Every structure is written in C-alpha cells, then in structure tokens.
Chains A and B, each alone.
Chain A
Amino acid sequence: MRTPPFNLHFPTTVEEAIDISQKLASEGRSSDWIAGGTDLLPNYKWHLNPKGDVISLSSVAGLGEVSMHRIGAMARLSSLVANASDALVHTDATISPVHPIIAKAAGKVASILIRNNATLGGNICLDTRCYWFNQSEDWRSSIDWCHKCDCGTGADCRVIPNQNELCVATYQADIAPTLMVLGASIHLAGPQGQRSMLLSEFFQLDGMTRNVLQQGELVTHVSLPKDVEQWQGDYLKLSVRESWDFPEVGIAAAWKINPAGELIDLRVASTALESIPKLHSEAVAKVMQQGWQGQKSILEVAELVRQSIKPVKNTYLAPAYRRKMAKVLTKRILSQLE
C-alpha cells in the first residue's frame, strides 16, 4: 500500500519543529507530526486525512526521557514496559523507572513490535477509531465516505446517521487513563510558547477535534505529581486477543492508602468507550463522600462508571456489552479495596 506523497522533515529541536510547522502553515500547507508512526502510517496508507508534509520528531533531542516523574513524548513504549524487548521480567516496581500502572498499560499496547516503535506522545494523541473510518480509501468510497474523512463531500456520520456535526469515533489508547488516575499533567510546546494542564483536560469531546493541540503545537512530555509513588492501582484491558488488539474496554484506577490502612483517595478512569478517555471524578466523589464501605462502595462506583459512559457501535464488540464490562472491570480492579 502506498501512502499519499508527502515531504518528510527532520527537525532536531522542538523549536525547529515548531518553526517548520509554522512556516508550512504560513504557506497554506498543513502538516502532521510523526512520532513512532504506528498510528499515523496505517492511517496514511489508508489515505485517512493525509497531509502534504510530515514532520518527524525522531531526531528531536530531549523528548525521550523516562523516569518516575517525567516521561518524554518520544519515549518508546517498549522502554516504559518493565519487561521490554530484552525479555527480562522485572516485577519489582523499584527497578522500573516508570510507575507500574503506566508500565502495565504500556505493555498491553498492541504487540511488542508495535511497542518498539510507538511512543508515549503518539499513544496519548492516538487518532480516534471507528469501523466506518479505519478502512481503505476504496472501502470508504463504497459507503460514500463518512464525516471524519469526508473527502470534501460533507458526508454524514455512519454511526449516528443523518448528522455531520459530531464525530463519535472511539478513543482506544491504553495509557491515558493510567496517567489520568495518577494525576499526570501534559506539557505542550507551540508557536505561542509552552503550556501545561492536567491530562484529563487535554482531551476534547469530539472524534475529530480530539484534544486541545493547536496548529504547530506538540506534546513534549508528561509529568507526574511528587507523591505518585504513594499511589497504587491497576489497569485492566478487555480485548479479543492479547496481542495486536486495541482495548474494547480499558479501566484504570489508582488509590492512596494512609498508614492506618484507610483509603484516602481514589481515582478511576476509562478508555475505549467514548471519543475521549474519561476520569470519573464525580462518580468517585459521590461514593467517597459517604465514607468507603468496601464492597458496597465498589459496586456503587462501578455502577456509576457504567452509567456515565455511552459507547456506540463502532468497534469490534457490541456497545451494550462494553458498557456492562466497564462495570465488571471497575469492580475487579477495586476488589483490592474490599
């Protein structure tokens, strides 16, 4: 399969990367960043919203850092995974420079071969997915395109017909919910300078807008709060196969327990259920307010998570099922808090 033609640029600094993007924009040329390429290149091969210029971040210095409190956008997923390609299993969290929940989620992404190329930034910014959209150009022409890649036709959404306002393509990346429950912030650099925000504020509810990134802006790194080591938790992924597949449901949870063994803080986030990953702060707050009551509270949180998400039929498994499984997975993760 051939990607549409594009010019490939190789900046060596963040500033240069932004400059190139700006210069292209000023000439009316749009561009994409490419990090690991494992999301962008399949999409380009299928001619999904390709741009005429692609700016590679592979040569940009300083984006590959991996540590407990800071992970660069260009950090390869395999380097986040404790048992990366060297097949050495480190179950001991002290050896891993990355929080074990993040490492676990990173290790669940696609396959080891994908993880050898894929990056954290790319995973966070993963394009939303839909089985009317992630198809070849020929295929999409056979359904007269769709809203997310309408090829200038103004085509309707194929999931929720008779409208072309909202795109409901699903965000199916694994790592974001784990970063969210650990209170991670995301750091961006762009023509207007640098800015940062909680990761939970980074995403924007529309399958096409996806996030707050502006033209010329890119993710440089994520940072984790000082107390992140004191948070424990887990990430559970439901997919048909253990290799290759995107999550059909992904739930992350993290909690803090005081020396007396009491639960003092809890966060739950979900992915693969809507167009953005979601931090379920309200649901958790509502239950926590009443004081933690073990299994009863767990079930309440799980039920509230289920109620707050509305998957649509555009991934492999049925939406009603995925919604119910969000509850089951939440329950399973939190069962450690009974």
Chain B
Amino acid sequence: MEFIGRSIKKGEGHEGIGEAMVGEERISMIPTAPEVYWSALVNGQNIECHIESNAILLDVIRDEVGALGVKRGCDMGTCGCCTVLIDGEPKLSCLTLAGEVRAKEITTVEGLADGHHLHPIQDMFAKHGGSQCGFCTPGFLLVSSALLEKNNSPTDAEIKGAIEGNLCRCTGYQPIVDSIQAAAELMRTDAESVDSTTAKADPHPGFSGENEGGHTA
C-alpha cells in the first residue's frame, strides 16, 4: 500500500518530511500509517488526540497522554511493567492496539490515588518493601488493585495467580505478596490512608514531662 507521509508533529521547519533528496533523486519515504482520531477516558480525564492507526496503546499513553508512570520494560508482554486497567481489567498496554480501546476507561498508576490520599495498595507497597527500584511497581499496583477490587481477602495462591504476569527483579516477590495482603486488610477495614500534605513534625517540640525509664528529674 501507499503510506502518506506523516504531518509535521514535532519541531518546525521540516518541510517535505518523509522525503530525502540525494542530488535529484528522491530516495525514500518514511513509512507511517495514516493518522486517526482517538479518544479515551484516562484516569477520569477525557483525552483526545490523533494517533497513527497502528499505534500501540503503550506508546500513546506515554508519548501522547503523558502518563509516564506506565513503563516499558520488555515491550513484548513478558514483564508486565506496562500494565494498565481497561474498564477495570488489567491489560498489557504493549500488546494492545490503541485503536481497539477507543472510548474506554483507562486507569494508569497515576489514577490510583485520590489526591494525596494513596490507594491502600500504594501505601502498603511503600510500607512493606513491595517496591525497591520501583520500575515494575506501577504494573504490580494495577494488577493487584484489580484483584482486590473483586476479592478483598485473597489467599496467597490467588495473589500469585494474579501477579504471575509481572516480573520483579528486585524483591523476590515475597514482599510484594506481603504488601498485597496488608492492603487487603486495609481495604477490609476501610481504613483511610494519611494525606501526605498534613503537617510534619515540629522542629521545636516541648517537653511533655514524661521521663525515660528510671531517671529522676
């Protein structure tokens, strides 16, 4: 088929993009697919843009939507770093055509927290060492939040089944399972996470009058 040269998207002054002239000879076209209109509800926000018709969701989310929390680890479906929720179901964005999820609801890691109140799963990954280097963390958070949405008292085996598509090289997975269990418990009790913007410690505290063991004033 004939591909049209893409329109200028970045920078300026690239007249005749897609063509190269060597002497008088036109030697090449940059093959790109035609652009199509795309929209989706990403983290509650309606996103509209133009994408190449063959665009992969991961590329659209990172480069067009700007949700850089969605990570590219292997780009081939074997690490789970690029996981997003599509209508609540975890999917590999690296193996999803953007065109197939038009008008759907997409949740990325950026959409998990409620303002400065972290989702319990975020809070517990931080607290229980579920995240070391953090690169696989967004993917794990999304698959486990989807699990807990449906089942807030999963067994370890159920957790393992839910996160089997995600690769973590740092933690050995065990702290991740612990984190998910802790989050499940939080969700069962409807405990609310602390707003991180609340006032931190006073550098000028008073003396409460209490005294440590045995010493007399």
A residues contacting B by CB (< 8 A) are 1-8, 10, 29, 34, 37-38, 41-42, 45, 52-54, 56, 58, 83, 85-89, 110-114, 116-117, 242-244
Contacts and interface: CB of A to CB of B under 8 A. Distances in A.
B56 A38 contact: no
A87 B145 CA distance: 12
Contacts of B150: 85-88
B96 interface: yes
8 contacts: A2-B59, A3-B54, A7-B53, A52-B1, A56-B99, A56-B100, A86-B150, A113-B165
Interface stretch (B110-118, B128-136, B154-162): B154-162
Contacts of A45: 75-76
Task: Determine the main DSSP class of A at the interface with B.
Answer: loop
Given A4-B31, A113-B83, A41 B95 contact: yes
B100 to A, nearest CB: 5
Contact of A89 (B92, B95, B146, B158): B158
Interface of B: 1, 3, 31-34, 36, 52-54, 56, 59, 75-78, 80, 83, 89-92, 94-97, 99-100, 143, 146-147, 150-151, 154, 158-159, 161-162, 164-166
List 6 A-B pairs, minimum CB-CB distance, nearest first. Answer: A111-B165, A113-B165, A5-B33, A87-B158, A52-B1, A243-B164
B80 A8 contact: no
Instruction: Name the residue among B32, B94, B95, B150 with the largest chain A CB count within 10 angstroms.
Output: B95
A289 to B, nearest CB: 43
B162 A87 contact: yes
B77 A7 contact: no
Given A3-B56, A37-B97, A243-B165, 14 more contacts: A5-B54, A7-B54, A8-B33, A34-B97, A37-B96, A42-B77, A45-B75, A111-B165, A112-B90, A113-B92, A114-B77, A114-B165, A116-B91, A117-B96
Contacts of B95: 37-38, 41-42, 114, 117
B92 A29 contact: no
Nearest to A115: B165
Nearest to A41: B95
Given A52-B1, A88-B151, A117 B56 contact: no
B154 A85 contact: no
A8 to B, nearest CB: 5
Contacts of A244: 78, 165
Contacts of A2: 59
Contacts of A53: 1
B158 to A, nearest CB: 4
A114 to B, nearest CB: 6
A86 B91 CA distance: 14
B165 A87 contact: no
A89 B155 CA distance: 11
Contacts of B147: 85, 87
Contacts of A7: 1, 33-34, 53-54
Contacts of B165: 110-114, 243-244
Contacts of A41: 56, 77, 94-95, 97
B122 to A, nearest CB: 20
A140 to B, nearest CB: 15
Contact of B54 (A8, A85, A88, A110): A8
B35 to A, nearest CB: 11
Contact of A112 (B31, B36, B162): B162
Contacts of B99: 8, 10, 56
